[in-house]
Amino acid sequence: MEYSGKLPTSNVNVSKRTPLQELLILLGGVLGICLIFYLCLGWAVDYSIQHISPEEENELYALMKLPAGEEEKAAGRTLAVQTLLKELQKCAPLPYQVSINVSDSKQVNAVAFPGGHILVFSGLLDQVSSENELVFVLGHELGHFKHRDHLRSLGRGLVLWVISLFLLGPDNDVGDFLFSALGVANRTHSRQQESAADEYALEVLNCHYGHVGGSTKFFEHLRDNNQTPEILKYYSTHPSDQKRIDDLNALAIKKNYKVASVKPWVVAAN
């Protein structure tokens, strides 16, 4: 009998998938595990921040080593904005007094930090065309304090960093990819925070003036000067400027808020 060798019809040691398919499945599995881990830790962060006291917030702010005192160039503006903010707290009570620091910078932004500290960039003050517009921006930051978003964002950002560091260490390209991918889950959360803060700012504006004139002006400035490509706007943690304008207009109608003339905002730079 003559023997003739044959190849086996199947082999459990050889995958039917290509190496690229295997890699994608592996990355998908790792990303899925990380996402579950992130969501669980995110829930823990949301629960924990409700038990952080104002004193502990101030200790956290001190650890961040951010500028605590006003910059000399913006001293006059700091005093003016601080006076306005003190009046607003009658409409937006918080468990601590909120302080303002104006930074001499061209950035058009304001940021809420733990302990009731708000950093306002002079670029924003250069842009606002009315006191009402500025009150809305400040009311937005007060909304973040009210909902404790400033702590929630810090906590979730720390969770993302820890997951990336634990898996692959610092300065790792794959770790950066996972960090970005997990950030997709965080964007919806951040956009919800921004929308809630906008709604709170509208309430503060109406409480302070008896109407909501000027509520959308800040976002109209941003929209008209925004050169960001549409594809990149998808990755933003904030809703689009036009959506925020539309939502505020719809909310004002829903709550029967009046719209009246605005008050000029004219404060010297020093």
Residue 160 pLDDT: 62
Which residue would you say has higher pLDDT here, 154 or 56?
56
Q: What is the 3-state secondary structure (H, E, C) of the chain?
A: CCCCCCCCCCCCCCCCCCHHHHHHHHHHHHHHHHHHHHHHHHHHHHHHHHHCCHHHHHHHHHHCCCCCCCCHHHHHHHHHHHHHHHHHCCCCCCCCCCEEEEECCCCCCEEEECCCEEEEEHHHHHHCCCHHHHHHHHHHHHHHHHHCHHHHHHHHHHHHHHHHHHHHCCCCHHHHHHHHHHHHHHHHHHHHHHHHHHHHHHHHHHHHHCCCCCCCHHHHHHHHHCCCCHHHHCCCCCCCHHHHHHHHHHHHHHCCCCCCCCCCCCCCCC
Tell me if 174 is assigned to some domain.
Answer: yes
Tell me if 13 is assigned to some domain.
Answer: no
Residue span of the structural domain in which 147 resides = 24-50+68-254
Number of domains in the chain: 1
Query: Given a cut of 80, is residue 222 above it in pLDDT?
Result: yes
Which residue would you say has higher pLDDT here, 186 or 5?
5
Tell me if 4 is assigned to some domain.
Answer: no
Tell me if 11 is assigned to some domain.
Answer: no
Tell me if 246 is assigned to some domain.
Answer: yes
pLDDT in tens, 28-59: 776 676 667 666 666 666 666 677 777 877 77
Residue 44 pLDDT: 66
Tell me if 112 is assigned to some domain.
Answer: yes
Tell me if 8 is assigned to some domain.
Answer: no
Tell me if 263 is assigned to some domain.
Answer: no
Note the pTM of the prediction, 2 decimals: 0.72
Mean pLDDT along residues 186-190: 56
